[in-house]
């Protein structure tokens, strides 16, 4: 504002000087009046002198004072220069003051930037330390939780293993007690039958032969199964033959039969649904004929020949067909097959042709039913068969010479081809197969 006022004052002084100059110009701008006569073309010296006198007279009227003008002009210029110098000095001072102020502002701004930078760095450092402390505590807490989870998991696994061991031991003991009880009943039944035969004058062998003939004639048709079941039930209900003799003959002949295992299993289930005591005798006969049925026993050393392996295969196929028979009245159903397979894999120590034959025959008839009931759990058992049982079989020295390789190939094909998802042939009873065949021939 001060500079503006100084400029306004300078402008006022300049206006004043211009006014003074205008005064002189107004006095000096009067027109010269020259009178020329048209009649007098030629002038003489007198007229020129008169004109000169008139001109001089006019100059005197103009009254131009050059000294005063120069003096005033010099004063004005001097004052203007002084004012300009003062103004320039003030402008320079103001400029320096402004520059100094701007410098102070920049310094202050830079100081503030540095302070803010230091504060920002300190804040970031504190934030990083806090975050690191938090993450460390979280990691420690998570590690502690994972450690506790691992400990709990290990404790659960240990408890589960102990429970499974206890259950297996108890299950094995219970199964052994049950089998001991069944064998005891079988011995008692044989003793009673021996006493009856010795005390009676009748010959009961005809009933035994009749039961054997019916069992040999069982085939995979619904009509045949129904007819065979009804004939055996009539023998069981015949008062001329004691029931104990009929049950004993039925159990022995059924176990030794080499017919259709699925058809025989249907007959067994229907008979035992009417006479439940026959199932205990039948299972006891299974155990006597084959050490691997009901309760697998691998500690018994037996001499095996080709016929023995064939009997083992036939008995295990019949037992597998029995446990998978999906009828409500089956008292020895699929759950017993599951227990048998799990116990067989857990307790098998000898991996030879006999154990391989037993497992292969059982899977061929019971595998489909076990898969339909247990699905993923059954697949886990099959993985145990592949990874452990077959691996140990392949380590045997006489794999090729003993015929074990053929059974290994059969089990491997059963697993690779997923034959357990396909219903085995003969499992579903055919209706009127013989009559359809007879009509075709006619």
Residue 272 token pair: 């035992």
Taking only the tens of pLDDT, the chain with its 442 residues reads 666 676 777 778 777 777 766 654 544 444 444 444 555 445 555 565 555 555 555 444 445 567 777 787 788 888 888 888 888 888 899 888 988 998 989 999 898 889 988 888 888 888 899 988 999 989 998 888 888 888 888 888 777 666 655 555 566 677 788 888 999 999 999 999 999 989 888 889 999 999 999 999 999 899 999 999 999 999 999 999 999 999 999 999 999 987 899 999 999 999 999 999 999 999 999 999 887 876 565 545 556 788 899 999 999 999 999 999 988 889 999 999 999 999 999 888 778 899 999 999 999 999 999 999 999 999 999 999 999 999 999 888 777 666 889 999 999 999 999 999 999 988 987 654 433 333 333 3
Please tell me the predicted confidence (pLDDT) of residue 193. 94
Q: Hey, where are the domains in the chain?
A: 200-441
Q: What is the pLDDT of residue 437?
A: 36
The total number of residues written for the chain in this structure: 442
Three-class DSSP category at 239: coil
How far is residue 393's CA from residue 363's CA, in Å, rounded to a whole number? 17
Instruction: Give CATH superfamily name and number for 200-441.
Output: GLE1-like (1.25.40.510)
Q: How far is 262 from 273, CA to CA, in rounded Å?
A: 17
User: For residue 34, what pLDDT is reported?
Assistant: 47
Instruction: Classify residue 221 by burial, with Cβ atoms within 10 Å: 0-12, 13-18, 19+.
Output: buried
424: how many CB neighbours lie within 10 A of its CB? 21
Angle at CA of residue 426, ends 419 and 403, nearest 5°: 55
Q: Would you say 369 and 326 are in contact if contact means Cβ atoms under 8 Å apart?
A: yes
**342 HSE (CA, 13 A, CB side):** 19
> What are the b/e assignments for 336-361, b being 16+ CB within 10 Å?
bbbebbbbbbeebeebbbbbbbbbbb
For residue 70, give the 3-state DSSP assignment: helix
Answer yes or no: are the C-beta atoms of 257 and 138 closer than 8 Å. no
What pLDDT is attached to residue 330?
Answer: 94
- Look at phi and psi of residue 30 and say left if phi exceeds 0, alpha if psi is from -120 to 50, else beta: beta
> How does DSSP assign 302-339, residue by residue?
----HHHHHHHHHHHHHHHHHHH---TT-SS-HHHHHH
Pairwise CA distance, residues 72 & 67, whole Å? 8
């Amino acid at each position: 504002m001060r500079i503006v006022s100084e400029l306004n004052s300078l402008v006022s002084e300049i206006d004043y000087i211009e006014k003074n100059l205008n005064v002189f110009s107004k006095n000096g701008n009067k027109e010269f009046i020259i009178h020329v006569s048209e009649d007098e073309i030629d002038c003489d010296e007198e007229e020129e002198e008169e004109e000169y006198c008139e001109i001089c007279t006019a100059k005197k009227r103009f009254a131009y004072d050059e000294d005063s003008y120069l003096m005033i002009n010099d004063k004005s210029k001097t004052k203007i220069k002084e004012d300009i110098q003062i103004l320039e000095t003030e402008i320079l001072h103001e400029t320096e003051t402004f520059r100094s102020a701007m410098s102070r502002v920049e310094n202050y701004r830079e100081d503030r930037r540095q302070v803010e930078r230091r504060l920002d760095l300190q804040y970031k450092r504190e934030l990083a330390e806090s975050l690191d402390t938090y993450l460390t505590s979280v990691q420690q807490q998570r590690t502690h939780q994972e450690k506790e989870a691992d400990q709990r998991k290990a404790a659960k696994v240990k408890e589960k293993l102990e429970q499974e061991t206890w259950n297996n031991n108890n299950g094995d003991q219970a199964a052994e007690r049950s089998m001991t009880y069944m064998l005891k009943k079988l011995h008692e039944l044989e003793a009673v039958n021996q006493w009856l035969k010795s005390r009676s004058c009748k010959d009961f062998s005809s009933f035994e032969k009749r039961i054997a003939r019916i069992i040999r004639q069982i085939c995979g048709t619904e009509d045949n199964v129904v007819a065979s079941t009804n004939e055996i039930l009539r023998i069981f209900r015949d008062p001329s033959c004691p029931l104990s003799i009929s049950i004993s003959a039925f159990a022995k002949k059924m176990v030794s039969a080499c017919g259709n295992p699925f058809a025989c299993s249907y007959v067994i289930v229907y008979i035992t649904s009417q006479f439940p005591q026959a199932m205990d005798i039948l299972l006891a006969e299974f155990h006597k004929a084959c050490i691997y049925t009901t309760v697998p026993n691998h500690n018994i050393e037996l001499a095996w020949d080709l016929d023995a392996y064939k009997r083992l295969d036939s008995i295990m196929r019949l037992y597998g067909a029995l446990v998978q028979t999906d009828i409500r009245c089956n008292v020895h159903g699929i759950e017993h097959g599951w227990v048998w397979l799990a116990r067989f894999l857990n307790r098998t120590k000898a991996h030879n042709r006999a154990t391989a034959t037993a497992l292969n025959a059982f899977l061929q008839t019971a595998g489909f039913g076990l898969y339909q009931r247990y699905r993923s759990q059954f697949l886990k058992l099959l993985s145990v068969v592949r990874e452990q049982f077959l691996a140990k079989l392949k380590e045997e020295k006489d794999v090729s010479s003993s015929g074990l390789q053929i059974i290994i190939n059969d089990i491997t094909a059963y697993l690779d081809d997923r034959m357990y998802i396909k219903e085995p042939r003969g499992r579903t009873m055919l209706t009127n197969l013989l009559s359809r065949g007879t009509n075709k021939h006619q």
